[in-house]
Structures are given as structure tokens and as C-alpha cells.
Structure 1
Amino acid sequence: MDHRIHQVSQQHALQIPTGRKPIDNQHTSDFKEILIGQQALKFSKHASQRLNERNIEFNEKQWETISEKVLEAKQKGITDSLVVTNNAALVVSTKNNTVVTAMDREEATSNIFSNINGTILIND
């Protein structure tokens, strides 16, 4: 083992910034928009097909409530959730912010849901 101290050339020396750059509000607002965009729920191709086939629709208020509750579930550590509304049931990956599948309430009553670790009940 070599215990000698070696001189490091200037080009290989660790460069530590000495001053702080001023905060650029433009980039801060861009970051917030990106963060909010990442939290928006998306639909998988399969879920989009199921919504169309089964004529399941949500108004803006309902969708906002669903999105808020899914975000709340994610903050509590839930990764895969069953969201039950008055007219539909959605399986949502909170980890990916993606609706995986959708079915109407009548169809949902005869199904077994697996691989979920949380349920969200929403009364419209």
C-alpha cells in the first residue's frame, strides 16, 4: 500500500463553487409546471378502450376529485388502488399516475380485484 501524498494536477482537482447563483423565477415556475404535470392522471391504452366501450364519462369536477384522492393515496404509500365512484370502478397505479382499467359499477360488483393495496370510495 502506498502512503505517500501525491500532487494532483489543476485539471483533475475538485472544483467547488464558491458563490451562489441568483434564483431564476422562470426556471422555478417551469419546475412547478413539470411537477404538476407529472402528478396528472393518465389513461393506459387499455383503460381508454374500456371507458369508450362502456360509455363511462366523468365531468371535470368528478375527475378533479378522483385525481386529488389518488394523490392523497399515493402520499399515504398506496401504489395500486381501486377507485369506486357511483357509476364506475377504476384500477389506478398511483406509482405511475395511470388508470390501468375501468368498468361500470354493475360489472365491478361481480369481479375480484387483486394486486391492489388501497381502495378509494367517492360519492358523487
Structure 2
Amino acid sequence: MANIEGYPYYPIPSIGNPGHRAESKKTAETGESFKQTFNNQLNEQPVKLSRHAMERLETRNIHLSASEWNQIHDKMREAKKMGVNDSLVLTKDAALVVNTPNNTVITAMDLQEAKSHVFTNIDGAILINH
């Protein structure tokens, strides 16, 4: 630490500095690194997204609210109890193919694209009313 005009100054280590070890910072309260905390938060999300589904949602500009995700999760749990493994979820804006045992969205498309699509390898359908 150095002082600049009476204020403490903490220099930011440069990348590739041989004296700097790449260690993750620990949070004061839990002792977890940011990466661990972030991964824990992701794992607590009710519905997981496959890489393919994330790309589809992003490229097709599909955005679902937290309440919609919660509704989807609730219906996925119901479908799982009924023995449904892979299901088509229809919302007012999107069509999602989900795997209920893993709580994972496999793919996503907007409704215009879904109109001309044949869905295969599903054994259930979930309609989300708004």
C-alpha cells in the first residue's frame, strides 16, 4: 500500500506479474471465493439451461420473467411426478423443450418458429397460462 496525497492506494497487480499469485479473493463472511459463490447460486436456480438453450434464448431475444421461470419449474416438478421425462413447454412468448428429471431446458424458440416445427422425443406438454 502506498499513500497518494494522504489517501491509501492499493495498486492493482498486472496480469503476468511473476510476484502475483492468481488466488481467488475470499469473502469475509463465508470464506468462499466469488467463483464458488457464483456457482452455488447457479446451482440453486430452479431451472437449469443447457448451453444450447442459452444460445437460443439469446439469439432469438427471448426473455422470461422470474415468475415465468418459477411457473415453469412448478409444472416441471408436477410432470416429473407423473413420469414425464421430456416435455414441450409453451408460454405466451416461447416454446421450450425441457428434461424434467434434470430440471434442464434443452432448447428454446419463439412461437413463430415453433409453428412450423415438429417436436419429437417428448412425452408430455406443459402450457403456462398468463
- TM-score range (shorter-chain normalised) is 0.5 to 0.7
The answer to whether the Cα contact below 8 Å between 2:46 and 2:70 also exists between their aligned partners in 1 is no
1:58 alignment partner, one of 55, 64, 74: 64
2:115 alignment partner, one of 104, 109, 114: 109
Between Structure 1 and Structure 2, which shows a larger proportion of helix residues? 1
TM-score (norm 2): 0.65
2:125 alignment partner, one of 96, 114, 119: 119
Runs of 4+ in 1 over 3 A off after TM superposition: none
How many Å separate the matches in 2 of 1:95 and 1:50?
Answer: 21
How many Å separate the matches in 2 of 1:85 and 1:97?
Answer: 17
How many Å separate the matches in 1 of 2:105 and 2:74?
Answer: 14
The answer to whether the Cα contact below 8 Å between 1:39 and 1:97 also exists between their aligned partners in 2 is no
| Aligned-CA RMSD value | 1.7
Runs of 5+ in structure 2 lacking a partner? 1-42
**Greater Rg by CA:** 1
TM-score (norm 1): 0.68
Runs of 5+ in structure 1 lacking a partner? 1-36
Tell me the residue number matched to 1:69. Answer: 75
Alignment identity in percent? 53
**Paired residue type of 1:85:** T
Query: How many residues align structurally?
Result: 89
SS of match in other structure, 2:63: coil
**Alpha carbons of structure 1 residues 115 and 78: separation in structure 2 relative to 1, 3 Å:** same
- Following superposition, the deviation at residue 41 of structure 1 comes to 1.4
